[in-house]
A and B are shown apart, each in its own frame.
Chain A
Amino acid sequence: METIRQIQKKYCTRAITAAIFAGFFLILAGQKPVAKGLILATFFSILNFILMGETLPLRIGKSKGKTFMLALSSIYFRYIILAIPLIMSIKFEQLNLFATIVGIFMVQIVILADHALKIILSTREKQV
C-alpha cells in the first residue's frame, strides 16, 4: 500500500501543479473560464485516480466473474463523480467545456509525459 500512496502523491501533485500553473497563465491572459474549467476538472481527475487506487487491492483473490463485476461497479461509481465537472461546464457559462475535457485527462497526461521524458532521457544517455 505504501508504494501506491507514493505514486499517487507523485502524479497527483504534478497534475495539480501543472493545472494551477496553466490556469495562472490563462487567467493572466484573460481566459478565466478556461482556467476555472481546467483546475476544477483536474481536481476530479485526481479524485478518480485516488479512488481507483483504493479499489485495486479489493480485486485480488477473487474469482474472475466477481472481479469483472467489481471493476464494472467501480467504473460506474467513479464515472458518476467524473461526470460532475462535465455537467457543470455544460450548464454554466463560467466554465469552458473544452478545458474541462482536457482537465479530466490531466493525470493521464502527466503519467504519459513522465514516461515519455524517461524514454527521451535514456536514449540521450545511450548516445553520449
Chain B
Amino acid sequence: MEFEPQVIIKIAAYVGGGLCMGIGAVGAAIGEGYTAALANEAVSRNKDLSGDIFKSMLVGQAIAESASIFALVIAILLLFMDIPVPSLLKASALLGAGISMGFGAMGSGVGSGFPGGQACKGISRQPKMTGRLTTNMLIGSAVCQTPAIFALVVALILMFIDFGNVPLNPTWAALLGAGISMGLSAIGSGYGGGMAGGASCEGIARNPETVSSVTTIMLVGQAVTQTPCIFGLLVSFILMFKAFPETTALSPSMALLGAGISMGFGGLGPGIGNGMAAEGAVRWVARNVKHQSELMRTMLVGQAVSQSTAIYAMVISLVLIFVV
C-alpha cells in the first residue's frame, strides 16, 4: 500500500488537531466541573452572596480556559494551515505538536479549576476577603498556565520551523518524542500547581491574617512544581534541535522515541507529587503561621526527594539521546 506524502501529512495534521482539541477541552471541562461543584456548595451555604460568587467564578474561568484556547489555536492551525514543504518529517512534527499541546492543556485546565473552586467556597465563608481571594485565585491559575505556555511554544516550533535537510529516519522519532516529552510532563506540573493554588485560597478564607505568608509559600511551592515540566521542555528542545546522523536501522529512532516517553511519563508523577507537598504546606501555614519556616523547609525537602524520580527519568532520556 503506497501513500503520497501529502496524504500522510493531512492524516497527521487531522489526528494531531483532533487529539489537541479533544484532550485539551476535556481538561478544562473537568476543572470547570470541580469549580462548579464547590460554587454550588458555596451558594447553598450563603445565598445572598451568589452574585459575588458567580463573579469570581466567571473571572476565574476566563483565565482557567486560556490553556484550552491555546489548544484551540493549535488545533485550528493544524486543520486549516497550508503546509509549505510536504515531507514525511513534517507529518511527525505535526502529530508531535498536537500531542504536546493537547496533553499540555489538560493538566493546566484541570489544575486551574482548583483555585477557582476554593475561592468560591472561601467567599461564602469570608465575604470580606472577596477581593483578596479573587486576586489570589488569579495568581494561582495564571501560574498554572505556565506548563501550557511551554507546550504551546514547543507546538509552534514543531509546526513552523522548517527542519528541511535533516535525515528522515531518526529525526521523525525525535520530533514525535519532543511532543510526548513536553505534553505529558506538563500534565503533572499543571495539575500540581493547581493543588497548591487551591489550598492557598482555602487557607486565606480560613485565616485571613495569613494572606502574605500563604501567597509566598504558594508561589515557592508552585515554582518548584514547575521543575518537571521544565525538564520536559529541556529534553524536547534537545530532541528538536540536535542533529542526528542518518541511519537505516530501527534502533536509533526507537531510542529517541523512548527518550520522549521516559521524560514525559517520568515528569507526570513528580509534578503531581510536588503539588501535593505544596498543598500540604500551604494548607498548614494558614492554620499555623508561626511555624512557617519549618513548614517551608519540610516542603522543600519533600519536593526535592520527589523531584529525584524526575531527574532519573531525565538522566535515562539524556542517555538514550547522547550515549546509545
Contact = CB atoms under 8 A, between A and B. Distances in A.
B305 interface: no
Chain B interface size range: 35 or more
Interface string A80-111: 00110011001100000000010011011001
B292 to A, nearest CB: 20
Contacts of A119: 135
B65 interface: yes
Interface residues of A, number: 41
Interface stretch (A20-28, A30-38, A53-61): A53-61
A86 B36 contact: no
B7 interface: no
A2 interface: yes
Interface stretch (B69-77, B167-175, B250-258, B273-281): B69-77
Interface string B32-72: 11001101100100000001101101110111011011001
A13 interface: no
Interface string B15-34: 00000010001101110110
B73 A53 contact: no
B68 A75 contact: yes
B69 A104 contact: yes
B29 A68 contact: yes
B138 A3 contact: no
A115 B135 contact: yes
Interface in A44-78: 49, 52-53, 56-57, 59-62, 64, 67-68, 71-72, 75-76
B142 interface: yes
B29 A72 contact: yes
Interface of B: 21, 25-26, 28-30, 32-33, 36-37, 39-40, 43, 51-52, 54-55, 57-59, 61-63, 65-66, 68-69, 72-73, 76-77, 80-81, 131, 134-135, 138, 142
